[in-house]
Amino acid sequence: MSTPLRELSIVIPAYNEADRIDATLVQVLRFATSAIEDFEILVVDDGSRDDTASRVEAFARSDARVRLLRNDRNRGKGFTVRHGALEASKAYVLFTDADNSTPIEEIRNLAPMAHPRALVIASRALSRSRMEVPQPWHRRLMGVTFRFIVQALVVPGIQDTQCGFKLFGREVVQAVFPDMATDGFAFDVEVIARALRLGFDVVEVPVRWIDDRRSRVSPIRDSLQMLRDVWRIRRQIRRLSPAPAPVSSPPGKV
């Protein structure tokens, strides 16, 4: 891969994913082995009640590049991604969902935009995005409504905050994740808002996406919590000191 991604940590949050984690790890391992010079795969188990952890441990025994991390209990997706990102050791960190709805190969589209101060977002909402298997109508309606609220309150101009496929430069990871406060599904909004507020580059890239109907998001319970989180994130980000403006050179100086 002719990209800056010679080394990459791949963070996969997992909660009760025993029925699909094997297939996802096979696909991710196969691709990364062929395309990334130096990589690690960090699966973060969020207190699963099934045998997700034991399945990941079996992979780890056969390939040292796979590691299992565990939360002490079920803490939420935001906490889980943060746990993995802060444990990551490589120059770039990719967060990808355990269902592989955005196929791992799509990192080829994100990689050209990568640099240490960039957050590159996979987007399902751009004109060249490909929804090969779309979501049911009610989830599409939820997504449009949530996107409108998020753009109005927190991150204007970002078309898709919630796609589970994001690439972080090392400087973004170090500046954004330690102070993250959102443990639930709205954590993506806080990640993007903090990155923008701190002056990092945030770029959306169209990707191929395949819906998996076994979503963990509850249409009512989680949606209400996400809206509460978005309002809290708005207040929190407004209190965060923005990045300083660039200093202009005096006339006649270069």
When pLDDT is cut at 50, 70 and 90, the band that residue 249 belongs to is very low
| Assigned token pair, 12 | 């996969």
Q: Is the pLDDT of residue 254 over 50?
A: no
CA distance 24 to 17: 10
The residue segments making up the domain with residue 178 are: 7-239
When pLDDT is cut at 50, 70 and 90, the band that residue 214 belongs to is low
Q: Which of 66, 89, 97, 70 is nearest to 174 (CA)?
A: 89
Domain CATH code at residue 36:
3.90.550.10
- Quick: pLDDT tens for 67-85: 999 999 999 999 999 999 9
Q: How far, CA to CA in Å, does 165 sit from each of 63, 72, 87, 104, 216?
A: 23, 25, 18, 9, 16
Taking the model in full, what pTM does it have?
0.88
CB atoms within 10 A of CB 109: 18
The verdict on residue 249 lying in a domain is: no
**Structural domains in the chain (count):** 1
User: 133 φ, ψ to 5°?
Assistant: -130, 105
Q: What percentage of residues in the chain have a pLDDT greater than 90? A: 69
The verdict on residue 247 lying in a domain is: no
The verdict on residue 245 lying in a domain is: no
The verdict on residue 21 lying in a domain is: yes
Q: What is the pLDDT, as a whole number, of residue 248?
A: 43
Q: What is the mean pLDDT of the chain?
A: 88
The verdict on residue 1 lying in a domain is: no
Which residues are bridge partners to 119 per DSSP? 168, 202
The verdict on residue 254 lying in a domain is: no
Which residues are bridge partners to 209 per DSSP? 131
